[in-house]
Structure formats: structure tokens, C-alpha cells
Amino acid sequence: MLPYITVLLLCQLAGEVLVRLSGLPLPGPVVGMVILFAGLVIRGRVPDGLEQTVKGIFANFALLFIPACVGVMVHLEVIAAEALPIALAVLGSTAATLVISGRLMQFLMRSKGGDTP
């Protein structure tokens, strides 16, 4: 497990360095994801240990968002002052995005041959 966590951190580090040097408008971890993806494509398969490590991380992925979400409390006043526009804008656009992009993707994937299981 430890070697694979190190691999993940190394990819993130490489991603952060690349972002700083290139000025790309992406966060380091997302670029790190691309680097690991490229590494896996070159290697041709996912090592078993990496698969296991990643499964362990994903099992508690939701936990990792909690500290950031608690930060919403700092802005409770602004949210309360404009609760209706904020709530409807967030809910309405999220629902519209889910429906339209989901339907469009499903339609285009089917019309492309329909071999998705």
C-alpha cells in the first residue's frame, strides 16, 4: 500500500510543478491524474496493489470533502441574505445540467453503435 500511496503523491507533485511552470488553469491533482493515466497507458495494466490502494481511498472519498464543506458556515450571512436566488440557481442549473448532459451523452453513445453494455 505504501509504495502506491507514494506513487499517487509523486504524480500530484509532478502535477503541481507542471501547473506552476506552465500557468495551466488546472489544479495540480487533476494534472497528476492525467500523468498517472498516461503512466498506466504506457505500462498497459493497473498493478494489483494500486487497484487495492485506490479501492481503499474511494471507500471513504466522501470523508475528504467534509472539512471544505464545513467552511460554508463562514458565509452563512451572505447565503441567508440571498437564499432564494442562490438556492434556485444552484438547484435549477444542477438539475438542468444533469438532465441535458446525461440525455445527450446517452443518446450519442447509443447512436455511435450501441455497444455499451
**What residues between 28 and 57 interact with other proteins by CB under 8 A?**
28-30, 32-37, 39-41, 46, 50-51, 53-54, 57
**What residues between 1 and 30 interact with other proteins by CB under 8 A?**
5, 8-9, 11-12, 15, 25-30
**What residues between 76 and 115 interact with other proteins by CB under 8 A?**
78-79, 82, 84-86, 88-106, 108-110, 112-113
Q: What is the dihedral of CA 3, 39, 61, 29, to 10 degrees?
A: 100
Least Cα distance to 35 among 57, 54, 51, 12 occurs for 12
Task: For the CB of residue 14, give the shortest distance to other proteins in the complex, in Å.
Answer: 10
Least Cα distance to 93 among 81, 85, 104, 83 occurs for 85
Task: For the CB of residue 7, give the shortest distance to other proteins in the complex, in Å.
Answer: 9
- Non-local CB neighbours of 36 within 8 Å, separated by 6+ positions: 7, 8, 11
Task: For the CB of residue 6, give the shortest distance to other proteins in the complex, in Å.
Answer: 10
Q: How many CA atoms lie within 13 A of 42 on its CB side?
A: 6
Name which position in 2, 3, 61, 80 contacts other proteins (CB under 8 A).
61
Name which position in 2, 48, 75, 80 contacts other proteins (CB under 8 A).
75
Task: For the CB of residue 77, give the shortest distance to other proteins in the complex, in Å.
Answer: 11
State the residue for C-alpha cell 472519498. 61
